[in-house]
Amino acid sequence: MSIQETLHQVDTLQAELSALRPLNTGELARLREQFVIENTYNSNAIEGNTLTLRETALILQEGITISEKPLKDHLEAIGHRDAFRYIVELADKDSPLTERVIKDIHTLVLMNDAENKGVYRRMPVQIIGASHTPPQPYLVPVQMEQLIADYKDMQQQLHILEAVALFHLRFEGIHPFIDGNGRTGRLLLNLELMKAGLLPVNVKHTDRRRYYDCFDDYHAGSGTADMLTEIIAEYEREELERYIGVIKGSTTQA
């Protein structure tokens, strides 16, 4: 199936979801809580967090401390949860994507690092195992400003899934922060999906190799976001189908 066919499927499912009776507040809250836990686990696990899905749920739902697990892992779970709640608020207000918004999200993600949260990196970095080298620190503000400006054009010229995929690839390539770039980038991706009336997606830890391959493909010379667009579209289709199924099941029971 071509990317365009997959994007068309997503558009069709989005239209179907929009036409259905919306979930009530309680149903929506339960679905969102489940998603936040799974998304927090997966996004943090991709970056090396050692908490299991069950442990993440216990921390976020019950406030339980997991013995023998680092404090840093606990704070990463809480920070990601808080950052996700923040992007939901931003999406509800249809807030524009700005450098200030990006820094605010990063501040929540990196709540355990007072010195570096919400601050562009001040030193060169090398991404281990990657062929791409991020720009020197003095270029980060310039490239971030350009990325924000270019994203406005992307939204006009591309399908929203293609636009957010390309934005994500470029954001991670700039690697604007010393830490927390992956988690912040995936939150930004979901912010833009929700603003477009789509559902947030959960890039799974088990798919991390395929996810990383998208960056290698882009920076190795393809110059396209096709690989990442396909992954995002697959996840979006799954989420839409799941929500539609829940709503139809709720309607049948009613």
Question: Among 153, 169, 171, 183, which Cα is nearest to 42's?
Answer: 183
What are the tens digits of pLDDT across the range 195-241?
A: 999 999 999 999 999 999 999 999 887 789 999 999 999 999 999 99
Q: Output the pLDDT for position 75.
A: 97
What span, in angstroms and rounded, lies between the C-alpha atoms of 56 and 5? 36
Cα angle at 15 between 105 and 86, to 5 degrees?
A: 15
User: Which distant-in-sequence residues (6+ apart) come within 8 Å of 23 by Cβ?
Assistant: 31, 243, 246, 247, 250
Residue 161 to residue 150: CA distance in whole angstroms: 15
| CA dist., res. 84 & res. 125, Å (int) | 27
What global pTM score does this model have?
Answer: 0.95
At 122, the amino acid letter reads: R
Q: What is the pLDDT of residues 137-187, one digit of tens each?
A: 999 999 999 999 999 999 999 999 999 999 999 999 999 999 999 999 999
What does R_g of the chain's alpha carbons equal in angstroms?
Answer: 18
Are 109 and 85 a contacting pair, CB within 8 Å?
no
pLDDT band at 28 (very low <50, low <70, confident <90, very high): confident
Q: What residues does each domain of the chain span?
A: 23-120+133-253
- What confidence category does residue 253 fall into, taking pLDDT thresholds of 50, 70 and 90? low
Distances 66 to 35, 53, 60 between C-alpha atoms, Å = 21, 12, 11
Residue 82 has pLDDT above 60, yes or no: yes
Q: Where are the alpha helices (DSSP H) in the chain?
A: 3-19, 25-46, 53-57, 71-92, 99-109, 140-157, 160-174, 181-195, 208-217, 226-253
pLDDT for res 251: 61
Say if CB 16 and CB 243 are below 8 A apart: no
Q: Please give the C-alpha separations between residue 179 and each of 106, 116, 187, in angstroms, as whole numbers.
A: 9, 8, 14
Classify 23-120+133-253 by CATH class: mainly alpha
Q: Are 83 and 187 in contact (CB under 8 A)?
A: yes
The span from the CA of 230 to the CA of 204, in Å, is 14
| C-beta of residue 145 within 8 angstroms of C-beta of residue 99 | yes
